[in-house]
Amino acid sequence: MTFRNGQVIWAAVKDRNGFEKNRPLVILNPNDEIEPHLPLVCAAISTRFKLPLKLTEILLPWAQHGRSVSSGLWEPCVAVLDWICQVEQADVKRIVGLLPDVAMRAIQKRLHELDSNND
């Protein structure tokens, strides 16, 4: 598999309670930093959220049954920006889609804002 920034992938990762589960993730690595021997840095994607969204959540594009949307997501969900994990490339089960540039810009902007607030 060839990976790139913004792809939505499925892999087994531990949740906040330490339980491992297959779940969707979005790749955060810049394309020029994705090397075959290095893990992917990802944000978890979750269907569990409430409105209004937390500062650490970005609503993602979706469509019922994953049709007509490049993300491959089939129900309302968010990128959880305080749930960052590393995934070995060999552990990726499948690639299901690619987030549009506007969604990735929103994620990168929010990550920058969150990082600035922690300084």
Rounded to whole angstroms, the Cα distance separating 46 from 44 reads 6
For residue 119, what pLDDT is reported? 65
Query: What is the SS3 assignment for 83?
Result: strand
Beta carbons of 54 and 107 less than 8 angstroms apart: no
What does the buried/exposed string (b/e) look like for 12-38 if buried means 16 or more CB atoms within 10 Å of the residue's CB? ebeeeeeeeeebbbbbbbeeeebeeee
Residues 41, 27: Cα–Cα separation, whole Å:
6
What proportions of the chain, in percent to the nearest 5, are helix, strand and coil? 20, 35, 40
Give the pLDDT confidence score for residue 118 in this predicted structure: 76
pLDDT along the chain (119 residues), means of 10: 97 91 97 96 97 97 77 95 97 97 97 87
| CATH number belonging to domain 7-117 | 2.30.30.110
pTM: 0.94
**Model pLDDT, residue 66:** 52
Give residue limits of the domains in the chain: 7-117
